[in-house]
A and B are shown apart, each in its own frame.
Chain A
Amino acid sequence: MPVRTPENFDIRQELPLRLRATVDAMLGREEALLGWFEVDLDARLNFVDSFVLLTDKRIVGTSGGDLRPTSPQNNGAPGGMEDAAAGEKSWPLSAELSIQSKEKGGAGALELVDANGLLAQWRFTPARTKAAHHFVDRLKQFRSGSLSDGDLSESSEVLCPSCGSPIKGDQGLCETCIALPGTRPGRSLLRLLRFARKRGAMSFLGLVLTVGSTSAGMVPPYLTKPILDKVLVPYQNGQEAAFRLIPWLLGGLAAASILTWILSWARTYVVAWVSERIAADLRNQTYAHLQRLSLEYFGGKRTGDLIARVSTDTDRICYFLSVYLVDFANDILMIVMTAGILLSIDVRLAAATLIPLPLIAWLVHQVRSRLRGGFQLGSRAWADMTSVLADTIPGIRVVKAFAQEHREIERFRRANDRVLHANDRVNRLWSFFGPVIVLLTDLGILIVWIVGVWQVYNKNVTVGTLTLFVAYISRFYVRLDSMSRMVSATQRTAAAAQRVFGILDREATVPEPVHPIKTGRLSGRIEFRDVGFRYGARTVVEGLNLTIEPGEMIGLVGPSGSGKTTVVNLVCRFYDVAEGTVLIDGTDVRSFSIEEYRQHIGLVLQEPFLFYGTIAENISYGRPGATREEIISAARAARAHEFILRLPDGYDSLVGERGQSLSGGERQRISIARALLIDPRILILDEATSSVDTETEREIQLALDNLIQGRTTIAIAHRLSTLSRASRLVVMERGHIVEIGPHQELLAQGGTYSRLYRAQSDHLEERAL
């Protein structure tokens, strides 16, 4: 390795261009830039940009544009040299100088301290949290000599275990292996066409039938002209009338009607068939996508809202496609054809009839955006109302226990009122808009009569032509009227489509690797390397280092909220680490295919969730092909077999919502059987026995003894007695591991664990007395 001089570390090349000139002016030539941090708040938490630099000699802070010193009330602080001109302050890198990144309420703080106290403080928004941590790490790495040159984030080159290319970026993720987020496609309604393409042949047939039936519908008025001009008018005037034409003309009328009838019947059927399938495809795809989204997405979404999107909104789209879209295509066709026919017969008359058209177009444009806003509001209100239902119906026991029925009724009423108001808003607009269109339509027909009568009077057109015009034009305006109704349907659908695509456009925050590694048969060695995790800006786990050997059982203990579940979530890859890596058998969990990897994990939670179905189905949930013998032996091992036999329908008893009610301990044992059946290499018990009585706990404990054999087990429990089988106990406090060791050893240490233990054994003695 070449001898490193500070210049080797210099990362000035990587600075964003907008900072480069400023930084160059601030730093001397002989000084190497090691890191920078862009501050986005000032001391009073206003949005002001500035930055802090770390060099091999000092830390420099600027206050950006406003030239005020960034460090608050600390102008005279020891060691701070102020360069008034540049508004910058700097502190030499003495041994006792240190920086730390803290969370202070909603905004973070980067603090510079020495032996005497706080020297400076820079505040930043949660968006900058990661960068702040990184900046702090740079100083640590520089001091420990582990800083590498050029590379911003990694202390040594790491090869992607999946594709072998070097990994960049502080996620420890291989860029080539992580799927890039899809490009954001355009308008929601147009995107529906993509779904129509899958049903190409039928969609095309629907289109052809639409054109056919519309054209057939144009024929009858056209035949009225010869009836009048060639037959009726001459006859009335005592001239020779061509009565021999009559059977042909009337027959033509009848034929056209019948053809229209058959074609529109076929069209309606085909189009409904296609749109029903498009909606079903959309629902399937939305639901499939929803299932693949990470837990994080569901954490921030209300169940009712999601249900509304998958069910109501897709249905709305279907209705639109089957009813309105065809009408719309029909109308457009009709209008174009009518306009063509009218122009070909008499240009002047035609021009007169089209006068109100621009006015209508303008009005439609005015109304459209307002309607869309109204419909979006309506959809959201509807989803809110569904959410109230999805919330309170499963929680009905709590509602009743606290006698809060009236309050829930009130909550629903309020949500329902919002739906009402949103719909009222749309209706107000609509009730005005609709009749205006009708008025304009009538006006159009009136104009035709005026111009037409005038033209007939001047003998420019025949009575037949005028009748033809009036027949066409009334159809034309009827179409216009229905098109205006389209406006509202389109906007309603656009709003629905937007909500559906809102799900489809979401990328899983736990991405699937592009080239996943096969897990093979895992031995189950779990290693946490400097793992850190944050929910948003809030650090929940930090600096976690732990290795669990294959087949070892560890107990995870600590006060509630100390991050135990979070650690387990990281192992399951429900979330991805913010820093460091979780390795299974030496491979980053992120390089496995998620689905394949999770097949190796058995998870038993505090609240055992059973799906609606038989007990046998619930036990074999993770491996639907399991034989009855396997199901029974899993249930035996989980100590569930005997109570299941006592149920009238045995393993065929229905459980879950609407099913047989089971006690918490019984449900728990079924969920243990479920975990056992997949024969996982890694077993995770998150407070699996916390919600049951001691007798049931003993039963479950026995079940667990069967379960943990030969598997790597992480057990979280509040009752420390539950963890007697654990070879080591890991004690967590506020996101850090504070103690690791076997029970006796930790007890002797007299630390957190012995305190927890003593609190519980006192409690037990109390009960024994």
Chain B
Amino acid sequence: MTAPQTSALKPVSLEHDAWGQLILETDDGRRFTGVIPARAFPVSDPEHWVSICDSQGHELLSIENLSSLASGLRTVLEAELAHREFVPVIQRLVSATTQEPSDWVVETDRGRTAFQLNSEDDVRRIEPDQASIVDSHGIRYLIPCVAKLDPASRRILDHFL
């Protein structure tokens, strides 16, 4: 098997079939059922480099720039990506206990929730002003801009960052 020239293929259409599977049609006329889209850089560059893999996880094609897609295709793709990615964005920290394991209560874009951290190492700075938190169940929470949090939340976060 040689390395497939994935980036050469272009998507022609992307739609859901009756079973909710995603069907991809490419410019060489082939159809693929049950394809899975994935962002290569979901945190640092979500708008570029989206790959579409077949149901086995082999890459079929890669889209360098989402904005280059036809709008219909892009809507389906982004809806599917949003459907797969569950990364609540934290808007406010309500409380966090300081001893390990620490219990957090936060308000996210998906509503208020509580979780537990295994260790304070699970709060990480990714980009200079971005933080990500992984709770004891492996769910990831994102703080896209630490500076934009309210002072009370920032004070809580400072204990961990």
Residues on A facing B (Cβ under 8 Å): 614, 616, 628-629, 632, 636-637, 639, 641-646, 648-652, 654, 658, 702, 706
Contact = CB atoms under 8 A, between A and B. Distances in A.
A644 B3 contact: no
Contacts of A614: 44, 126
Interface stretch (B12-20, B54-62, B96-104, B107-115): B54-62
Contact of B41 (A616, A637, A639): A616
Contacts, number: 58
Among B49, B58, B64, B121, find the residue whose CB has the most chain A CB atoms closer than 10 A.
B49
A644 B40 contact: yes
A645 B53 contact: yes
A632 B44 contact: no
Contacts of B62: 632
B48 A628 contact: yes
Nearest to B62: A632
A643 B58 CA distance: 9
Contact of B40 (A637, A650, A702, A706): A650
Interface string B102-140: 000000000000000000010010100000000000001
Interface residues of B, number: 25
A702 B40 CA distance: 22
Contacts of A629: 49, 64
A637 B53 contact: no
Q: Closest 10 interchain pairs by CB? A: A652-B43, A645-B38, A650-B40, A651-B40, A651-B41, A645-B51, A652-B44, A652-B41, A642-B59, A658-B121
Among B3, B40, B43, B121, find the residue whose CB has the most chain A CB atoms closer than 10 A.
B40
Nearest to B53: A645
B45 interface: yes
B42 interface: yes
B92 interface: no
Among A614, A632, A637, A650, find the residue whose CB has the most chain B CB atoms closer than 10 A.
A650
Contact of B1 (A632, A650, A702): A702
A652 B140 contact: no
A522 B51 CA distance: 36
A628 B65 CA distance: 12
B39 interface: yes
A636 B38 contact: no
B81 to A, nearest CB: 11
B57 A636 contact: no
Contacts of A654: 124
Nearest to B43: A652
A641 B38 CA distance: 12
Contacts of A646: 38, 57
A645 B38 CA distance: 6
B75 to A, nearest CB: 22
Interface in B55-82: 57-59, 62, 64
A511 to B, nearest CB: 38
Nearest to A644: B40
Contacts of A651: 40-41, 44
A658 B140 CA distance: 15
Nearest to B37: A645
B3 A649 contact: no
A706 B3 CA distance: 9
Contact of B53 (A628, A639, A642): A642
B50 to A, nearest CB: 10
A648 B38 CA distance: 9
A643 B23 CA distance: 22
24 contacts: A628-B40, A628-B49, A629-B49, A632-B49, A636-B3, A636-B6, A639-B3, A641-B51, A642-B58, A643-B57, A644-B40, A645-B51, A645-B59, A646-B38, A648-B85, A649-B43, A650-B40, A650-B41, A651-B40, A651-B44, A652-B44, A654-B124, A658-B121, A702-B3
Contacts of B51: 641, 645
A72 B51 CA distance: 78
Nearest to B4: A636
A641 B45 contact: no
Contacts of A639: 3
A650 B3 contact: no
A628 B41 contact: yes
B42 A649 contact: yes
Contacts of B59: 641-642, 645
A546 to B, nearest CB: 32
Contact of A652 (B1, B3, B126): B126
Contacts of B43: 649, 652
Contacts of A652: 41-44, 126
B121 A645 contact: no
Contacts of B49: 628-629, 632
Contacts of B45: 628
Contacts of A706: 3
B121 A616 contact: no
Contacts of B42: 648-650, 652
Nearest to B121: A658
B120 to A, nearest CB: 11
A637 B4 CA distance: 10
Contacts of B3: 636-637, 639, 702, 706
A650 to B, nearest CB: 5
A614 B45 CA distance: 13
